Amino acid sequence: MVRVTTLRIDAKQTRLPGTLLKSSQNIRDSLGDDPDESSSESEVEYPLTPPPSDYSESRPMSPQHGSQLDMHTVTIRVSNKQTNPRPRKDAFNWRKDHGINHSLEKQMTLCLASRESSKPAIASLAQSFASRNKRKSRKSTKYPKGDAFTLTVDALDSLLESADHTLSSPDFMIIHPINPIHYNETPLELHGYPPWHIRLTEIYHNRFQHLPTWSIRHPLSSQPIPLDETTFNQALDEFATAEMRFGK
C-alpha cells in the first residue's frame, strides 16, 4: 500500500484517479507491498550507521549497475498539449530576450513509492558501496589498508535521484494517511521517508478537512483508506494556487 504519494506537476488538472484505480493491481505488484501486512511486522529497522560486520560481500546489488537496484516505485508520466491561442509577438520577444523557452506541451509525473523506497533502499546502497570499496582495497594499491571508508550524502543522492530511478526531489507531495483511527493523534512525521532531501517541495496535508468525509464514506477500522478523486483534485487545486518564491 502506498504510504506517501509524490508528485512533480506542471499541468493543473488531470483525470489520473480513474486510471490509477484500473491499474491498482499492477501498481501493487510493482511496489511489492502486501496491504494485509501491518507495518510493524513488515518494516525492518536499520541503524543510522551500520557497523562494518553488518554488510556482506556476497550481496548481488552493485551501484555500478543502476538497473539492479529495485526502488519499488511506479512512475506515470502524462503529456498534455495545450490548445491555447498563439501568444502575442511582444510577449514572445520578451520571453526570447530573457531566455525563456515557451512550450505548449506540459508534462506531469506521478511517482508512487512504497516504504521500501526509503530507509531499506538507502541502507542497501550504503552497504553495497562499502562492499565494493572493500573489494577494491584488496585488489588495488590506491586504497591503503586501514583507511576509513567514507560515503558522502551527495554520492547517495546522485544515485537515488538518477534518471533510471526517477526519484528526483518532487515539486509537490501529497501525504495521505492509511489509518484514519490514529490520524489526529500524532503530528506529521515522515520517519526518513521519502529518501530525497526535500528542498523546495509543497506538502499537502490537510487532516481536519478530510476526516469527516472519511467517517461518512468509510467506517473507522484498521483497513487502509484509499486516496479518492475528490481529495486528489483538492490537493491539485491547492497546489495550483500556491505562490512560489525562489529569491533573487
The domain locations on the chain are 4-78+108-240
For residue 174, which phi and psi values (nearest 5 degrees)? Answer: -100, 120
Q: What is the structure's pLDDT at 68?
A: 47
- Check residue 246 and give its pLDDT: 74
Residues of the chain with pLDDT under 70: 1-73, 80-106, 114-117, 140-148, 162-168, 178-186, 191-197, 206-224, 248
Q: How is residue 99 written as a grid cell? A: 531566455
Q: pLDDT at position 14, please?
A: 47
Tell which residue, 200, 245, 201, 209, has the closest CA to residue 230: 209
Asked whether the beta carbons of 2 and 217 are under 8 A apart, the reply is no
Q: Which pLDDT belongs to residue 175?
A: 80
- C-alpha 109/C-alpha 170 separation (Å) is 9
d(CA 159, CA 68): 12
What's the pLDDT tens digit per position in 69-95?
556 667 777 776 554 545 555 545 555
Report the C-alpha gap between 12 and 236 in whole angstroms: 7
Predicted structure pTM score: 0.51
- Which pLDDT score is estimated for 109? 77
pLDDT value, residue 154: 79
pLDDT at 143 (0 to 100): 56
Q: Which pLDDT value is given to residue 61?
A: 38
Tracing cell 526531489 back to the chain, one arrives at 169
